[in-house]
Each structure stands twice: as C-alpha cells, then as structure tokens.
Chain A
Amino acid sequence: AQKITQTQPGMFVQEKEAVTLDCTYDTSDPSYGLFWYKQPSSGEMIFLIYQGSYDQQNATEGRYSLNFQKARKSANLVISASQLGDSAMYFCAMRETPNTGANSKLTFGKGITLSVRP
C-alpha cells in the first residue's frame, strides 16, 4: 500500500489565484512529519513547508500553508496568490520516526505538476 498518495496528475491555476494540492498518507506511527517539496524544471529539490504530527496548528510559510487534517490523514498544500514561478512539480513526503532520531527515512509521493497560467 502506498504510504503517500498524490492522485492529481496535473493542476492548472490562473495567476494570482489560490490552489490546493492534495496529499493523503498512511501510517500507524503516532509520531511523524510531513513535508512538501517543490521541483522546478531546473531539477533541484526545494523545501517548502513542514508539519509535525503533534503540531496543534497548521504550518504556514509565506504564501504556503499546509491544511493538516490528522483524522483524515491528509496534508494538502495551499498556495495563495499563485505566481508564474510556482509552475513546477510538487512532492509530498513523510518521515515516520521520531524527530530526534538518526533513522530518518523519507517516503515520497509520486508528485503533482502545477502549471500557472498568466
């Protein structure tokens, strides 16, 4: 069974509008972390946002916010006021071990392509 599911094959959004990228996860570990990464056409992996399983509030980083619904095991990324530079592949990822541990395997979803239209 997939641990991270990203089912949207491709998303389009108009510049300056908001967009939500979906991510669901599967784990029985009570302590885990959820990440979103951006991969532009240049290929590098850019960290966007992190949510810990025990964090009480949804994470926010500038125009990025994470809609964390623990009971539904979803961790959707919301990008507000989309910009042309947001066009990229977006990956959701999960680490299942406690934060202060050396064993830190990161499991990725298959990714979502976002295209921002002018």
Chain B
Amino acid sequence: NAGVTQTPKFQVLKTGQSMTLQCAQDMNHEYMSWYRQDPGMGLRLIHYSVGAGITDQGEVPNGYNVSRSTTEDFPLRLLSAAPSQTSVYFCASRDSYYYGYTFGSGTRLTVV
C-alpha cells in the first residue's frame, strides 16, 4: 500500500547509544520531514528535505542528523541518545502539487 512507512514502532535505548529511525515513502514525494511530539508541545519540526541530497534544519535539530540519498528514504539518526530525546517521532511527506501531507504511524522512543 502506498504511504509512509516508519520503523521501528517502539524502541528503548540507553543513554549514549546510537540508532537510526527509518522512514520510507513510495509516492515519489519530494518533501519529507521529521517531527517529534511531546506532551503539551504539539509536533515540532526536527529536519526536513526538499529532495534527494537536500536537507535543512527545523525548529529542534540538536542531537539529530539526517541525509537524503534517495527520493524514497529519509532516515533520522541519533548519534548519542539522551533522555530528553524520549518522544514520539513522526515522518511526513508531501507532493509539491498537492496540499496534503502523508504521515507515518510514528515511532515511540524511550531513552533510559
């Protein structure tokens, strides 16, 4: 089924560990983005990409890295996890010619 696929759905990390959250879409969308959701804060933009090879920072980029080597994939890397990165992470994509965004189902990350 066409859409945005996020893996894993749940993850527990120890402080200092690294991991990559995966995001893939099969709709040929140019725009992809990562958000984190924390209680009472809504969704805040971490990083976004407007095409393969092009990425930029959002509102809360510290502690996260991204790259976009293909149109389909937009992984989010945590190089050294901290408890403050405990959150729910959403990936979203959009086609340039339609207003709507497609969201993945989210990854719930806990850093202990």
Using a CB–CB distance below 8 Å, which chain A residues touch chain B? 4, 6, 33, 35, 43-45, 47, 50, 52, 91, 93, 95, 99-111
Contact = CB atoms under 8 A, between A and B. Distances in A.
A99 B33 contact: no
Contacts of B101: 35, 47, 104, 106
Sorting the interface of chain B by its residue count into under 10, 10 to 19, 20 to 34 or 35 or more gives: 20 to 34
Contacts of B75: none
Given A43-B88, A43-B106, A44-B106, A106 B99 contact: no
Contacts of A50: 99-100
Interface of B: 30-31, 33, 35, 40-45, 48, 50-51, 58, 88, 90, 92, 94, 96-97, 99-101, 103, 105-106, 108
B86 to A, nearest CB: 15
A18 B17 CA distance: 48
